[in-house]
Amino acid sequence: MSAQTRTEGTDRRRELLSIAAELFADKGFKNTTVRDIADAAGILSGSLYHHFDSKESMVDEILSSFQAELFAAYDEVLRSDDDARTKIERAVRLSFEAIDRRRHEVAIFQNEADFLGQQERFAYLAERNAESRAVWITLLDDGVRSGALRADLDIELTYRFIRDTVWVAVRWYRPGGKLSHTAVADQYLTILLDGIAHA
Amino acid sequence: MSAQTRTEGTDRRRELLSIAAELFADKGFKNTTVRDIADAAGILSGSLYHHFDSKESMVDEILSSFQAELFAAYDEVLRSDDDARTKIERAVRLSFEAIDRRRHEVAIFQNEADFLGQQERFAYLAERNAESRAVWITLLDDGVRSGALRADLDIELTYRFIRDTVWVAVRWYRPGGKLSHTAVADQYLTILLDGIAHA
DNA sequence: GTCTATAACGCGATAGAC
DNA sequence: GTCTATCGCGTTATAGAC
């Protein structure tokens, strides 16, 4: 019975975090009140503090667990023995998959990371950012060296282009809509790799 | 003297709006207090209300004047008799020029339009958005019809790709940095038109 | 685990003196 | 055009009953 209680407590926690994540993503962190979260959960604001220290610790838990998951996926691509172009394709697809499956978390990270990152508590956001940049620069360098990518690319600018392009899609992509995340990834990779001009 | 007073009043207004715009862009509208703005201007918060009705009317004035300027530029491109590809290139360059010259305004629009647009007062933001989409869809349709662009493009998705790609650069572009806005536009157009893959 | 009640504080905005 | 002083409200968070 104590095991069940522990499990239900964890489930409730996750449920509350999921509700909070949706609100943070839609209205912004600062713009979402603890009363908003409590209302959406069908409880009163004071009751939230039985589960969490503060509103800040809620967004902290949301972001850090998402980041851990995302970077495990990056690591798997990096460690694989695919060729350079395939790795790039996989890394792009991985992003759209994250947008599909964790869109609230992606949106919160996109919208709030810069501001939250100024606080010491959220310093890991900037660290993960640097880590992600390192992954992409490696992939792009390998791509140019192997001849898969054009030699005249500005690698830093190309990295920013890809990073911005894939993640900003979280603003309009909706799971269950007309386009699957794999279809969007296909189109984006086509444009990214071969351009929109007539060959 | 009354003319000079009027002019100075206008200048002071513009100066205060410029200070507010920087703060809104950096910290977000909701996250910026009237005391922040007053502090940065070297006055007390109450004094701001001699110039403006409310914090909301400040961001309103910032966004509406920027939008008017931007869409005048779009109109000029549309009305020109350049060919389809040139018009697309000009529209892209125009965006990077706006990021260079009005980055705070662009950032505020990117970050806050969705949220502010829900209020009736800011309904024009959604209207301008629809207008901008119409411009781009026209340009892309013309591009495909004239053979300048690939025929297999998903026009709607391509529009979103371009829109997101050009505007999101406001997150990292800094005027006076290593890259001029024209150099960034050159690189982005190269990738957009011809892709990153080795030909 | 949730509710009642409230403390402590920061916020946008106002009124009137200078 | 700015300052002093303050109001009224919404917000995060706490303490203790149930």
* Residue B11 Cβ under 7 A from any strand C atom: no
Grade residue B1 by pLDDT with cuts at 50, 70 and 90: very low
Q: Is the pLDDT of residue B66 over 50?
A: yes
Residue in B115, B184, B193 nearest the CB of A197: B193
Q: Is the pLDDT of residue B6 over 70?
A: no
* Residue B27 Cβ under 7 A from any strand C atom: no
Q: Is the pLDDT of residue A6 over 80?
A: no
Q: Could you say which DSSP state residue B57 is in?
A: H
**pLDDT tens profile B24-39:** 999 999 999 999 999 9
Report the sign of the C-alpha dihedral through residues B11, B16, B19, B25, in that order: negative
- Cβ contact A148–B197 (<8 Å): yes
**Tokens at residue A132, please?**
């992600």
pLDDT above 90 as % of chain A: 94
| Residues shown for chain B | 199
Give the per-residue pLDDT at A101.
Answer: 98
**pLDDT tens profile A106-126:** 999 999 999 999 999 999 999
Give the per-residue pLDDT at A9.
Answer: 54
Type of residue found at A121: R
Q: Is the pLDDT of residue A184 over 60?
A: yes
Residue in A165, A193, A198 nearest the CB of B150: A198
**DSSP per-residue letters across chain A:** -HHHHHHHHHHHHHHHHHHHHHHHHHH-TTTS-HHHHHHHHTS-HHHHTTT-S-HHHHHHHHHHHHHHHHHHHHHHHHHS---HHHHHHHHHHHHHHHHHHSHHHHHHHHHHHHHHTTSGGGHHHHHHHHHHHHHHHHHHHHHHHTTSB-TT--HHHHHHHHHHHHHHGGGT--TTSSS-HHHHHHHHHHHHHH-SB--
Give the per-residue pLDDT at B27.
Answer: 95
d(CA A115, CA B171): 12
Mean pLDDT within A45-72: 98
d(CA B144, CA B154): 10
Grade residue A3 by pLDDT with cuts at 50, 70 and 90: very low
Give the per-residue pLDDT at A104.
Answer: 98
CA distance A156 to chain B (A): 11
Give the per-residue pLDDT at B4.
Answer: 44
d(CA A54, CA A47): 12
CATH 1.10.357.10 residue ranges in chain A?
Answer: 54-194
Residues of B contacting chain A (CB within 8 angstroms): 27-28, 30-31, 85, 111, 114-115, 143, 147-151, 153-154, 157-158, 160-161, 164-165, 168-169, 171-172, 179, 184, 187-188, 191-199
Show Cβ contacts of residue A151 under 8 Å, excluding neighbours closer than 6 positions. A144, B198
Query: What are the backbone angles phi and psi of residue A173, rounded to the nearest 5°?
Result: -65, 135
CATH 1.10.357.10 residue ranges in chain B?
Answer: 53-194
d(CA B199, CA B195): 9
**Tokens at residue A72, please?**
């495990």
Q: Is the pLDDT of residue A7 over 70?
A: no
Give the per-residue pLDDT at A199.
Answer: 85
Grade residue A44 by pLDDT with cuts at 50, 70 and 90: very high
CATH 1.10.10.60 residue ranges in chain B?
Answer: 1-52
- Cβ contact A196–B164 (<8 Å): no
Nucleotides of D under 7 A from a protein CB: 1-6, 10-16
CATH T-level topology, domain B1-52: Arc Repressor Mutant, subunit A (1.10.10)
CA distance B37 to chain A (A): 17
Q: Is the pLDDT of residue A5 over 80?
A: no
Distances (CA, A) of A29 to A36, A60, A87, A130, B151: 11, 11, 34, 23, 42
Q: Is the pLDDT of residue B103 over 50?
A: yes
CATH T-level topology, domain A54-194: Tetracycline Repressor; domain 2 (1.10.357)
Give the per-residue pLDDT at B9.
Answer: 53
**DSSP per-residue letters across B5-36:** HHHHHHHHHHHHHHHHHHHHHHH-TTTS-HHH
Specify the nucleotide whose C1' lies closest to residue B55 (CA): C12
- Cβ contact A115–B27 (<8 Å): yes
Name the CATH architecture for the domain at B53-194: Orthogonal Bundle (1.10)
